[in-house]
Chain A
């Protein structure tokens, strides 16, 4: 398989994720966009690892670490969103700025 297919897919997913982060009004769904961006990065890492095939399996291991960190981050992020919701009864990012 040509290396370019996964790479182009990951760029597209990254762009879509960026749009989601910047354009979504609900804070939780903003975090969803962040997850998508992280996923695109993972795809990139795995593709390069499949192509380069080094002895340390660097790309795949880093992908595992990224998945773990993403899980930790989403937990923490959602805790913050919940605390915000408790404080101002809204998770709309435009309202929150007031």
Chain B
């Protein structure tokens, strides 16, 4: 086990633990904050796999805006009544399904890619990714901006029609 793998294992443990805490915490904002930790750990994993641009975008977009939006939403939808239990009666089914999904996927991966190794090549620099996007992936990029516009308009419309009541 070389240094990379060791660091990766540490980051993986952090990510898994904080993900569990995020999904089961009874405090609403704590869940969001534990998710921040998870996302940060995953970004660290990206860096270990030499995808530094993706790691940076992850921190920027996910942690910076998505989690902030979630915390905003949590504050705005604070219920005036007492908090009820934070998990439904569904949770045993959900736990079973989650375990089955994880184990199934993991087993498939292991069965398929046993013994493969990642060679350490610097492939994820901003320059090379930028080249790839604007040379080979232009069309999906433009469509994606269209999707973003649509989402923006949609969010405004939905928020506004609530006001008209």
Contacts and interface: CB of A to CB of B under 8 A. Distances in A.
Interface of A: 1-29, 31-33, 35-36, 39, 42-43, 46-47, 49-51, 53, 56-57, 60-61, 63-65, 67-76, 78-83, 85-87, 89-94
Given A5-B9, A32-B22, A57-B128, A46 B102 contact: no
Contacts of B38: 13, 36, 39
Of the listed residues B57, B94, B136, the one surrounded by the most CB atoms of chain A closer than 10 A to its CB is: B94
Interface of B: 2, 4-5, 8-9, 12, 15-16, 19-20, 22-23, 28, 31-32, 35, 38-39, 42, 45-46, 48-51, 53-54, 57-58, 61-62, 65-66, 69-70, 72-74, 76-77, 79-81, 84-88, 90-91, 93-95, 97-103, 105-106, 109-110, 113-121, 123-124, 128-129, 132-133, 136-137, 140-141, 144, 147-148, 151-152, 154-156, 158-159, 161-162, 165
B90 to A, nearest CB: 6
